[in-house]
């Protein structure tokens, strides 16, 4: 009997020791839904360095624009420096690039759940907004307000949301990207719904948050 028990224990130890260990990529996702590796690099491909820029939020030079007669090939638009909200009539794509062609943001604007309704973003005056397939596009200056509910776009910690430790949830499927100059960005997949993800993040003043693919993320201050 003792021989049988010893054999079973040795077999169990051998079996356990031979199990493949989860990779760092898998562990990061299992722990906090953080995306790493090739998928992360693809999401950051050709990312504009202007993500790190801070602009004058007084909107002293900003102006409202309505752009129409947009055909399939699209139009390129530039606006004075300011913080803007971009929306459109019917549906279409919005690409925001810097003067060197780096991509700051791309979203499909369409009635939910096909797309998102608005984009909120800082524009430095040299950004190029390319729009296509809309009947009209509306570009409207917006004031800065501190909130814990952030929609699609780019936000700055300390201006749009207070620094702190938060639990992040979402309404649907999207991404939260956190940028800090000199550091590797963090990218989290956010899944909405009753059984959706809950992500822990530490936000520090000056960090930039890029929210894509989802209409809104909710930041609950962690006690």
Cα–Cα dist 201/223, whole Å: 13
- Which residue do the tokens 């800082």 mark? 122
Structure tokens that stand for 40 in this block? 């992360």
12 located within any domain: no
Q: What is the pLDDT of residues 152-198, one digit of tens each?
A: 999 999 999 999 999 999 988 999 999 999 999 999 999 987 778 99
19 located within any domain: no
205 located within any domain: yes
21 located within any domain: no
Beta strands in 55-135 (DSSP E): 65-68, 75-77, 82-89, 92-97, 103-109, 119-123, 128-132
pLDDT at position 4 over 60: no
Closest to 169 in 3D by CA, of 140, 192, 203, 201: 192
Could you tell me the pTM of the whole model? Answer: 0.86
**Model pLDDT, residue 22:** 56
190 located within any domain: yes
7 located within any domain: no
Q: In the chain, how many domains are there?
A: 1
60 located within any domain: yes
17 located within any domain: no
What is the residue range of 94's domain?
Answer: 31-221
**Model pLDDT, residue 113:** 80
**Model pLDDT, residue 36:** 95
């Amino acid at each position: 009997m003792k021989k049988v028990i010893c054999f079973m224990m040795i077999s169990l130890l051998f079996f356990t020791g031979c199990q493949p260990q989860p990779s760092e990529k898998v562990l990061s996702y299992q722990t906090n839904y953080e995306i790493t590796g090739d998928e992360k690099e693809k999401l950051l491909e050709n990312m504009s360095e202007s993500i790190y820029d801070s602009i004058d939020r007084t909107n002293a030079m900003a102006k409202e624009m309505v752009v129409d007669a947009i055909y399939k090939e699209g139009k390129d638009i530039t606006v004075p420096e300011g913080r803007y909200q971009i929306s459109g009539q019917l549906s279409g794509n919005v690409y925001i690039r810097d003067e060197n062609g780096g991509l700051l943001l791309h979203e499909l604007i369409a009635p939910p759940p096909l797309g998102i309704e608005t984009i909120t973003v800082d524009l430095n005056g040299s950004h190029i907004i390319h729009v296509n397939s809309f009947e009209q596009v509306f570009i409207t200056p917006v004031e800065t307000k501190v909130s814990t509910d952030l929609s699609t776009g780019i936000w700055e910690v300390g201006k749009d949301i207070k620094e702190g430790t938060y639990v992040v949830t979402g309404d649907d499927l999207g991404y939260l990207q956190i940028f800090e100059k000199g550091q590797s960005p963090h990218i989290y997949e956010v899944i909405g719904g009753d059984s959706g993800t809950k992500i822990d993040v530490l936000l520090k003043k000056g960090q930039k948050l890029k929210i894509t693919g989802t209409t809104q993320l909710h930041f609950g201050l962690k006690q």
